[in-house]
Amino acid sequence: MSAAEGGGADRPAQGAGDASASGAAGPADRAADELWMARALEKARLAAGREEVPVGAVLVGPDGLVAEAHNRTREAADPTAHAEMTVLREGALRLGDWRLLGHTLYVTLEPCAMCAGAIVLARVPRLVFGTRDPKAGMCGSLENLVRDERLNHRVEVVEGVLADEAAELLRGFFRERR
Ligand code: ZN
């Protein structure tokens, strides 16, 4: 079993600091994806504790974590305060660049139309999500905005990472509220 930290071992050796120029989309192996998704799930659990729909997201770049957030539409009284929107905003601010080239966005639930649109606008090269959202998901369920050939940017999508945990968290949240 390969350690997550050995993720760079199979890549050709390049000068340090060259990562952003290579266009690499961040960690590309399953073990690393699961580690980052576990972190997004932690954020989702925090949301549940605050009576927010439990969705969490993290933005990861070549040098690691850039931003993390959970959904806070209720607390912020803001319909756009989805976890993905917050990490995209914070990530872009932190990097001083609206283009999030070389970054991977991890989110526990399939992004909605708004978030899928923002992911395309931010030129995020890679999206990893947990469970599908059959009622609002726009990355494969209802439509696939992030793969639409007519748009000027397409996103590599990996789905199903820790999907059971993400789905169970959502089910539990809505079960308690019925
Ligand atoms: Zn959304």
Average pLDDT rounded to a whole number, residues 83-99: 98
**Residue 117, both tokens:** 């649109």
Binned at pLDDT 50, 70 and 90, residue 15 comes out as very low
Expressed in angstroms and rounded, the spacing between residue 12 Cα and the centre of ligand 1 is 36
List 84, 110, 149, 159, catalytic entry: 84
Binned at pLDDT 50, 70 and 90, residue 177 comes out as confident
The fraction of the chain above a pLDDT of 70, given in percent, is 84
Q: Which amino acid is present at 84? A: E
Expressed in angstroms and rounded, the spacing between residue 114 Cα and the centre of ligand 1 is 5
Expressed in angstroms and rounded, the spacing between residue 15 Cα and the centre of ligand 1 is 37
Give the start-end residues of each E strand in the chain: 56-61, 64-70, 104-109, 126-131, 156-159
Expressed in angstroms and rounded, the spacing between residue 59 Cα and the centre of ligand 1 is 15
**Whole-number average pLDDT of the chain:** 88
- Residue 77 pLDDT: 98
State yes or no: pLDDT of 125 exceeds 70. Answer: yes
**Residue 43, both tokens:** 């954020």
Distance, CA of 100 to CA of 122 (rounded, Å): 6
Expressed in angstroms and rounded, the spacing between residue 84 Cα and the centre of ligand 1 is 6
Task: Give yes or no: 84 in active site.
Answer: yes
Expressed in angstroms and rounded, the spacing between residue 19 Cα and the centre of ligand 1 is 29
Using the CB atoms, write b or e for 40-51: b if 16+ within 10 Å. Answer: bbebbebbbeee
Q: Which of these ranges, 14-18, 73-77, 83-87, has the smallest mean pLDDT? A: 14-18
Exposed (0-12), middle (13-18) or buried (19+): which is 99, by Cβ within 10 Å?
middle
